[in-house]
């Protein structure tokens, strides 16, 4: 199953052109949803105004090389390893889910555009990467959903409590789960279940990429920008108009040692 391209088998009933068109449509939905959200929520206006204020209060002018170095370091360390979460289970779950999702999406596009069709060869490598990406997404996502959600753990809500902000992670998990189930049933010749899971796979993709405006999907674009702006502000001395750190040592008292940190 892992070496088999599920889209190649699907091409016997659905034209590869239709699959390619579906992927392009999902990309368009991401762009439209993000743009509409940015306009309505005024995210770009906030970042732009914040950058102007920071520039006025900067104590040091950064050169091109310094800015490039800070941006590169932020992309590799802060964004690439989600260092803001510190060391622990929550960070590991996010890393698994993040890289699993990226691998799942990229390999989906590669399989559909490059290895699906009558005149196309097969690729065991990309097929394995597609399944691996889906599995990693499920591992990180279900670990986060059932055990690590901060609002649920800290505020004593049940694990099945669902709000609008959960749309992204649930739709993403549905895509990966139904994708794996579709691949398995298709490989084993279970036609009825294969069509059922494929339909659910398509619907979950429509919800995931069509619900960008209502979900946390667009945060994947905002957070890198916010992290870069924060590190640039610290480097040029503006510090986002916040006061500098105090010289006195941090004093928390014994209360903080009474219980090991579990939720955050």
Confidence of residue 203 (pLDDT cuts 50, 70, 90): very high
Give the model's pLDDT for residue 258.
58
pLDDT grade for 264, boundaries at 50, 70 and 90: very low
Domain assignment of residue 250, yes or no? no
- The answer to whether position 78 is within a domain reads yes
Nearby residues of 236 by Cβ (< 8 Å), 6 or more positions away: 54, 55, 58, 59, 60, 61, 62
> What CATH number is given to the structural domain containing 203?
1.20.950
Establish if 157 belongs to a structural domain: yes
Q: How many independent structural domains does the chain possess?
A: 1
Domain-embedded: residue 253: no
Query: Mean of the per-residue pLDDT values for the chain?
Result: 81
Q: Rounded mean pLDDT of 191-213? A: 91
Closest CA to 176 of 145, 152, 212, 155: 145
Would you say residue 260 lies in a domain? no
For the cut 90, the answer to whether the pLDDT of residue 76 exceeds it is no
Q: Answer whether residue 240 shows pLDDT above 80.
A: no
With a cut of 80, say whether residue 176 has pLDDT above it: yes
The reported pTM is 0.78
Tens digits of residue pLDDT in 100-148 = 999 999 999 999 998 887 777 788 899 999 999 999 999 998 888 887 7
Q: What is the rounded CA–CA span in Å between residue 87 and residue 85?
A: 7
Q: Is the dihedral of CA 43, 48, 53, 58 positive or negative?
A: positive
Query: Tokens in use for 39?
Result: 């306009």
DSSP class of residue 151 equals: H
Question: Could you tell me which of 124, 62, 86, 12 has the C-alpha nearest to residue 263?
Answer: 86
Range of the domain at 234: 6-239
For residue 170, being part of any structural domain is answered with yes
Give a yes or no: residue 244 inside a domain: no
Closest by CA to 85, choosing from 148, 15, 39, 147, is: 148
- Single out the residue of 88, 114, 82 nearest to residue 8, CA to CA: 114
Are 101 and 151 contacting, i.e. CB atoms less than 8 angstroms apart?
no
- Element containing residue 160 per DSSP (H, E): none
| Residue 214 in domain | yes
């Amino acid at each position: 199953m892992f070496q088999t391209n599920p889209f190649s088998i699907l091409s016997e009933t659905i034209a590869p052109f239709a699959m390619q068109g579906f992927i392009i449509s999902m990309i368009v939905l991401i762009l439209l949803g993000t743009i509409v959200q940015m306009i309505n929520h005024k995210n770009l206006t906030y970042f732009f105004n914040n950058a102007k204020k920071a520039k006025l209060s900067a104590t040091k002018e950064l050169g091109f090389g310094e800015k490039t170095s800070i941006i590169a370091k932020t992309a590799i360390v802060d964004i690439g390893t989600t260092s803001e979460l510190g060391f622990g289970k929550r960070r590991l779950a996010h890393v698994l889910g993040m890289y699993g999702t990226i691998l799942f999406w990229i390999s989906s596009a590669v399989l559909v555009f490059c290895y699906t069709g009558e005149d196309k060869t097969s690729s065991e490598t990309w097929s394995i990467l597609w399944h691996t990406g889906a599995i990693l997404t499920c591992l990180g996502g279900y670990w986060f959903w059932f055990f690590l959600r901060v609002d649920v753990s800290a505020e004593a809500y049940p694990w099945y409590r669902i709000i609008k902000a959960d749309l992204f992670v649930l739709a993403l998990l549905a895509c990966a789960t139904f994708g794996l189930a579709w691949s398995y049933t298709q490989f084993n010749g279970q036609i009825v279940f294969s069509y059922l899971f494929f339909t659910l796979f398509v619907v979950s993709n429509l919800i995931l990429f069509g619900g960008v405006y209502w979900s946390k999907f667009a945060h994947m674009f905002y957070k890198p920008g916010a992290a870069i702006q924060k590190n640039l502000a610290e480097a040029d001395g503006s510090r986002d108009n916040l006061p500098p750190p105090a010289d006195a040592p941090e004093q928390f008292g014994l209360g903080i040692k009474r219980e090991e940190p579990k939720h955050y």
